[in-house]
Amino acid sequence: MSLTSPNPRHPSRREAGFSMVELMIVLVFIGIIASIAITTAFYAFDASRLGKTMGNMRGLADAILKYQSDNSSLPGGGLQPVSAIAPLLHQSAGNIIPVTDGWEHNLYYQPWTSAGGGASFRLYSYGKDGASDGIVTGTWVDFTSDIVVEGGSFIQSKW
């Protein structure tokens, strides 16, 4: 018995299209590729937000150092959102002061005493989750980890 139809205008049922198994295999394959692409895209978005955060923190550290140079002191207070000291910094730096990180969470400022005993400061971004890790370890694990600048240098970041 031949699998081909004697009449070329009317193919046999066996040649009429794809089987259900073939279609399911293709759909599973497309699903796997889509899940990999989506995961990669979300990682790229977070990497971009991290880059924006680090840029904002660099600019903010520069503005604080300029303020310190102009006033011979750092802005006072304890741990506080950068928005609380932004007006002071704007007067010294004369440019736009970033007050949020790449995930649109507040950046935080804290006067700090450096290891050498001098006046310094820390800037914090609490990362993607917006929650403090509670301790600065000097290491960075993932996008939810805190990003910390001390005295103008990153002491905890991905890069």
- 148 and 156 Cβ atoms separated by less than 8 Å: yes
Could you tell me if residue 56 is inside a domain?
A: yes
Could you tell me if residue 1 is inside a domain?
A: no
User: Which tokens belong to 114?
Assistant: 């450096």
Residue pLDDT, tens place only, 70-126 = 999 999 889 999 999 999 888 777 677 889 999 999 999 999 887 788 889 999 999
Instruction: Characterize the bridge pairing of strands 153-156 and 80-81.
Output: unpaired
DSSP-derived letter for residue 6 is S
- 149 and 132 Cβ atoms separated by less than 8 Å: no
Please give the residue range of the domain that contains residue 66.
17-156
pLDDT of residue 157: 79
pLDDT of residue 14: 59
Could you tell me if residue 47 is inside a domain?
A: yes
User: Which among 79, 112, 109 is positioned nearest to 97, based on CA atoms?
Assistant: 109
Is 47 exposed, middle or buried (CB count within 10 Å of its CB: 0-12, 13-18, 19+)?
middle
Could you tell me if residue 122 is inside a domain?
A: yes
State the pLDDT confidence band at 5, using cuts at 50, 70 and 90.
low
Residue pLDDT, tens place only, 126-157 = 999 999 988 888 877 788 889 999 999 999 87
Q: Report the CATH number at residue 140.
A: 3.30.700
Q: What value does the mean pLDDT take over residues 56-68?
A: 93
pLDDT of residue 156: 85
d(CA 37, CA 58): 31
Q: Helices in 72-149 by DSSP H: which ranges? A: 86-93
Q: Name the domain count of the chain.
A: 1
Its pTM stands at 0.78
State the CB neighbour count (10 A cutoff) for residue 7: 8
DSSP-derived letter for residue 83 is G
